[in-house]
Amino acid sequence: MQLGFLVDLHLCMGCKGCEIACKVENEVPLSTWRLRVKYVDVGTFPETKRTFTPLRCNHCENAPCERICPVSALHYIDNGIVNIDKERCIGCAGCVMACPYGAIYIDPQTNTADKCTYCAHRIASSMMPACVVACPVEANIFGDLDDATSNISKYIQQNQSNIQVRKPEKGTNPHHYYVNGGNVALNPLASFRPEGHDLFGKITSNMPIGGH
Amino acid sequence: MAAHEVLAATNAVVTLDVGLPGIVWPWLVTVNMWAKSIGTGVIFMLFLLLRMHPDSASKLRLHTAVVAFAFINIFLLFTLADLHQPFRMWHIFFHPHWTSAITIGSFMASAFLGLLTLLVFLAWKKNDETYDKVLLWVTILAIPVTLYTAALMAQCTARELWQMPTESAQMILAALLSGSAAMILVGGDKLSYEAKKTLGVVLGLSALMAFIIYMSEYIFGPMKAEEVAAVIEYIKGDGEWTVAFWLGQWITYILPMALVLLSRSSKSESILKLAAILALVGLAIVKHVWLVIPQLLPMS
């Protein structure tokens, strides 16, 4: 079994339902996110459009976080998920530095690394991840990549020319795919990040980073 | 008019993204690398001097072992301080994951500290014969100990700036630079002028080679990878780390090289000491800039 995720970016409307569901399900502390939706605006007014990209751990086949973790706190489980044992983590932040997707953070409450686990605890009880359940347009598709009859496998087969992963040049072989994603949505260097330009005002951080 | 309203249609602006983690490895890691360079570097230099200038170097066995012991302890202390869960440090030894440079480095550094403790004891007992035998193994172990941070940086897939074997070369050169500088200062009147000249040559050449590598990365790195190009922007033009980068290059490499040459022509030990002090101070700046700038790049 190899579990994987696929997001159809044509369907995603940036409602952030997945983000909130993830926060509630996994009790993710303030200022930290296991899953977040990035907004990128393209074009010149009035010819503008906004893209929405849900970003979470890619559960890579060749995961740099698993390799760099000195105590195997980050480890593979049988269904292909890169899971984390917070009781074992020493908080060296090597995984945060290694992940090319910025998917790992230091939990300010436990002082350990944390990230999306594809809701491994729910999957163990035969339930779907919280973000999949919450999505109103079924943009999040989750399932077994090794099973040709699963929804995700069928979706990949039907959209073969339009499947992308983030940063394929890193050689991590992510098990998280995007359909209808452009360079702007998936490449962080393809867009500007002006200071003080966040929607919903200034986002503060209380993460214990940098000289904690 | 807001920035996003005047951008061309081909351009894009991130209007919401909350996943910028800031500096994850802070100055504590800089001190870690700096202290480790000195701790291993003085061992390299003592090994060299005992072969080239045995008469004067033999008086420095205890001094060198104590300096190395002290700086390796500083290195380990700051490594521990950087952990968010320092009291779980023992997990590395009881749940080791051997693909991680952190694990291998921890075991090697612990063994290195054990051997340094033995060296201090042997020097105190004035058992020079055994000391020199142990020193050979300590010198050999000092090579991977000083290199392991380069391996760790290379394992950081997200930070394209930190490449192997470039980082390995920089770690070894940092150890030679800081080791020779520290020995010039520690040596005092015990080292002959000829021995100090040898240390000056090591200091000057390691500064030259490290400077060449940094300039090569500065100029040619951006031609190879867009992430490197984006990171190098932080130390170019009006980049927020430009001043610190060039301050580091001047203090650590350019001025010490010039001062080493000047000290040879004027036969001045004071100028050589000034070069050594500058190199030691500057190395911390150089290391810090190179540590921080890749962390400024958004990963999402």
Domain ranges of chain A: 3-190
Look-up of token digits 């980073």:
A209
Per-residue pLDDT tens digits of chain B, which is 300 residues long: 444 444 454 678 887 887 666 799 999 999 999 999 999 999 999 999 999 999 999 999 999 999 999 999 999 999 999 999 999 999 999 999 999 999 999 999 999 999 999 999 999 999 999 999 999 999 999 999 999 999 999 999 999 999 999 999 999 999 999 999 999 999 988 999 999 999 999 999 999 999 999 999 999 999 989 999 999 999 999 999 999 999 999 999 999 999 999 999 999 999 999 999 999 999 999 999 999 999 999 888
- pLDDT tens for A56-112 read 999 999 999 999 999 999 999 999 999 999 999 999 999 999 999 999 999 999 999
Inspect the interface and report whether the beta carbons of A191 and B12 lie closer than 8 Å. Answer: yes
Angstrom distance (rounded) from CA A21 to CA A29: 13
Q: Which residues of A touch B91 (CB under 8 A)?
A: 70-71, 88, 90
Q: How many CA atoms lie within 13 A of B209 on its CB side?
A: 17
Amino acid at residue number A16: K
pLDDT of residue B1: 43
CATH number at residue B90: 1.20.1630.10
Inspect the interface and report whether the beta carbons of B102 and A70 lie closer than 8 Å. Answer: yes
Q: How far is B103 from chain A (nearest CA, A)?
A: 5
Q: Which residues of B touch A105 (CB under 8 A)?
A: 19, 21
Torsion, Cα B71 B74 B75 B81, to 10 degrees, reads 180
Separation of CA A63 from chain center:
14
Q: How far is A70 from chain B (nearest CA, A)?
A: 5
| Percent with pLDDT over 70 in chain A | 92
- H or E element at residue B283: helix B269-292
Cross-chain CB nearest to A97 (options B6, B9, B156): B156
A43 pairs with which residues across the strands? A48
Determine the structural domain holding residue B147 and report its residue range.
24-296
pLDDT of residue B3: 46
pLDDT of residue B298: 87
pLDDT of residue A212: 46
Angstrom distance (rounded) from CA B165 to CA B150: 8
B286 phi/psi in degrees, rounded to 5: -60, -45
| Percent with pLDDT over 90 in chain B | 89
DSSP β-ladder status, A3-8 and A176-179: parallel
Angstrom distance (rounded) from CA A206 to CA B185: 43
Enumerate residues 6+ apart whose C-beta is below 8 A from B214.
B170, B249, B253, B286
Amino acid at residue number A200: F
Angstrom distance (rounded) from CA B204 to CA B253: 8
Residue of A nearest to B94 (CA): A71
Say which CATH topology domain A3-190 has. Answer: Alpha-Beta Plaits (3.30.70)
Look-up of token digits 């170019």:
B236
- Is the residue at B19 inside a domain? no
**Residue B14: which of A182, A194, A202, A204 has the closest Cα?**
A194
- Is the residue at B5 inside a domain? no
Look-up of token digits 């045995």:
B54
Q: Which residues of A touch B95 (CB under 8 A)?
A: 71-72, 88
A37 pairs with which residues across the strands? A54
pLDDT of residue A204: 56
Residue of B nearest to A206 (CA): B21
Cross-chain CB nearest to A44 (options B9, B96, B99): B9
Angle, CA A172 vertex, CA A171 and CA A175 arms, to 5°: 130
Inspect the interface and report whether the beta carbons of B300 and A100 lie closer than 8 Å. Answer: no
- Radius of gyration of chain A measured on its C-alpha atoms: 17
Angstrom distance (rounded) from CA A160 to CA B215: 44
Inspect the interface and report whether the beta carbons of A94 and B156 lie closer than 8 Å. Answer: yes
A182 phi/psi in degrees, rounded to 5: -95, 180
Q: Which residues of A touch B24 (CB under 8 A)?
A: 93, 96-97, 106, 209-210
Q: Into how many domains does chain B fold?
A: 1
Cross-chain CB nearest to A70 (options B4, B106, B227): B106
Q: What is the pTM assigned to this prediction?
A: 0.92
